Amino acid sequence: MHTKAFPYIGLLGFFWGTNIVASRFGIGEFDPFVFLALRLSIASFAFLAVFLLGNGRFPKEVKTWRLAIISGVLGVAIPMSTFILSLQYQSSGVASIYVTTAPAQIAIAAHFFLPDERMSRNKAAGVTIALLGSLFLVLLGESGLANVERANPLGVILIMSGLISETINTVLVRKRMTHMDPMQITAVRLLTGAVCLIGLAFIMGDFDLSGISGAGYFSLLYAALIGASAGQFMAFYIQRRFGATAFSLVSFVVPVVATSIGVLLLGEIVTWGMLVGVILIGGGIYLINRPKRDSQKDQLDTVNTP
């Protein structure tokens, strides 16, 4: 992984970290399903306006449409909805810490499905430590909320479901979509996600907007334009240009941003359990992404696929 990826990783981490905080505030004012649908609809229209005004064209090949739609479901609709719905049960900081386990899932999937990203002994140890850190938080029942003694396990289930979906999408992008235009793919992905979430909102949501404050509408616009539109394009760009391992590093930046902003703006808390979880997961991520010293050592450390 080249160091040129780091500025993009940092920017996407900021986008998604602040997006988590804005979304947690937003679902406190909007019905969660309506917030999801409006957020992604606004993001889709904004991106399409830029795309079409820049003489963008939708793909012509059926195969491209099919892959982009699948990626839109796996990489937009499912993780976006599960992440935001999980914020009903835990703080921005705790949710973002769970997201940090993404490198462990991606490393496992990349080992089996991406020949150029095989797992070494360091990666195997890192995966184990990161997952133990996540399990530690689950067993403690950390919520990161001052008025909640023990987190509802549904929050963890939602987060992990979204991470599994995003992992599958990352492998799909690297195996089948690296040659495709990122603007075209992002446009189709966002549209697909918007259609899915609008349908979900009509079935599950309450469209009464009478009690929404100005801050609530601001959180919606911020989450739509920064978290969804700009974030989704940046995510696909990183996956396509730098690979699955580089993309996984984004999840390490997100908790730092989300926890800090959540404490400052939403009155969330940081507990000793959260700090221990971050240290364990962070140590695992370091091992997963630790550079190897030489090619001979690479060969000795490689874990063969069963």
- Could you tell me if 137 and 277 are in contact, meaning their C-beta atoms sit under 8 angstroms apart? yes
Report the alpha-carbon angle 23-240-115, nearest 5.
120
- Could you tell me if 280 and 126 are in contact, meaning their C-beta atoms sit under 8 angstroms apart? no
pTM equals 0.80
Mean pLDDT of 16-44: 93
Q: How far apart, in whole angstroms, are the C-alpha atoms of residue 240 and residue 187?
A: 15
pLDDT at 296: 40
Q: How far apart, in whole angstroms, are the C-alpha atoms of residue 265 and residue 294?
A: 46
What is the DSSP track for 174-230?
HHH-TTS-HHHHHHHHHHHHHHHHHHHHHHH-----TT--HHHHHHHHHIIIIIIII
Q: How far apart, in whole angstroms, are the C-alpha atoms of residue 18 and residue 180?
A: 29
| pLDDT tens sequence across 79-109 | 989 999 999 999 999 999 998 888 888 888 8
pLDDT above 70 covers a percentage of the chain that reads: 94
Which comes out higher in pLDDT, residue 304 or 105?
105
Residue 244, pLDDT > 80, answer: no
pLDDT at 149: 77
Distances in Å between the Cα of 53 and the Cα atoms of 49, 221, 245 are: 6, 21, 33
pLDDT at 302: 34
Tokens of 119: 């797992």
Which residues are paired to 120 by β-bridges? 302
- Could you tell me if 251 and 14 are in contact, meaning their C-beta atoms sit under 8 angstroms apart? no
Place of tokens 């940046």: 234
pLDDT at 132: 93
Q: In the 8-state DSSP scheme, what is residue 305?
A: P
Residue 291, pLDDT > 80, answer: no
Which comes out higher in pLDDT, residue 285 or 74?
74
Mean pLDDT of 23-34: 94
Residue 294, pLDDT > 60, answer: no
